[in-house]
Amino acid sequence: MANQGFIIVKDGDKGRRASFRDFYGSLDKGAARPAFCYPKRKEELVEEIKSMKRAIENGHVAADKVMDLKMDLRKREGRLDKLNEEESAARKLFNENKDKWLERRTKLAEEISEATPTRGDKKKKVVNPHRVLMAEKSGLQEKKTEYIVISRLAGEESNVSFLVRD
């Protein structure tokens, strides 16, 4: 496949290839998926910030610990701001070529569906675990990750288990 996993993005008169890896930000170092794929963690961070602010305002913190808590609060607020910036940058990149990304998502869904064993084969236990592992290592896992990232940005269902054939 010539442009496997890449979308051609027009930058003025020269085109460049955009990969789903462009959705990753500086906070996502070494992570399996970008931070916006984990909305629960972001909600927990927002809740922590709110509870820390309440604790400071209501005086539930010892006087000698207030400064430490404020520094920790500032650090968490900075992280939340950075998460929001990276998510908006990823959404902007996605929205620039939305049709191409959705087309790529559909193609990935077909490829993943074809590469995974059927439910019937799993039930009959005729699936070769070694072959499944080799398929995962040879790029199937990367395709699943790309499918999940694009699906999250599109607001679609990102669970790859729904792609398994019957």
Report the SS3 class of residue 82.
helix
Q: Looking at residue 122, what is its pLDDT? A: 78
Q: What is the pLDDT of residues 51-67, one digit of tens each?
A: 999 999 998 888 888 99
Q: Residue 146's closest CA among 88, 118, 105?
A: 105
Average pLDDT, the chain: 86
In this structure, are residues 52 and 77 in contact, taking their beta carbons and an 8 Å threshold? no
Q: Where are the domains of the chain?
A: 6-163
pLDDT above 70 for 24: yes
Q: Please tell me the distance from the alpha carbon of residue 147 to that of residue 104, in angstroms, as a whole number.
A: 8
Ramachandran quadrant class, 101 (left: phi over 0; alpha: psi -120 to 50; beta: rest): alpha
Distances in whole angstroms, Cα of residue 46 to Cα of each of 32, 40, 51, 107 = 22, 10, 9, 36
The answer to whether 16 touches 54, Cβ cutoff 8 Å, is no
Residue 14 belongs to what H/E stretch? strand 14-19
The average pLDDT across 7-33 equals 74
Nearest to 133 by CA among 156, 116, 108: 116
Do residues 8 and 16 make contact, with C-beta atoms less than 8 angstroms apart?
A: yes
- Confidence check: pLDDT of 4 > 70: no
* Per-residue model confidence (pLDDT) at position 159: 85
Write out pLDDT tens, residues 71-126. 999 999 999 999 999 999 999 999 988 999 999 999 999 999 888 888 887 788 88
94: nearest Cα among 150, 48, 34, 12? 150
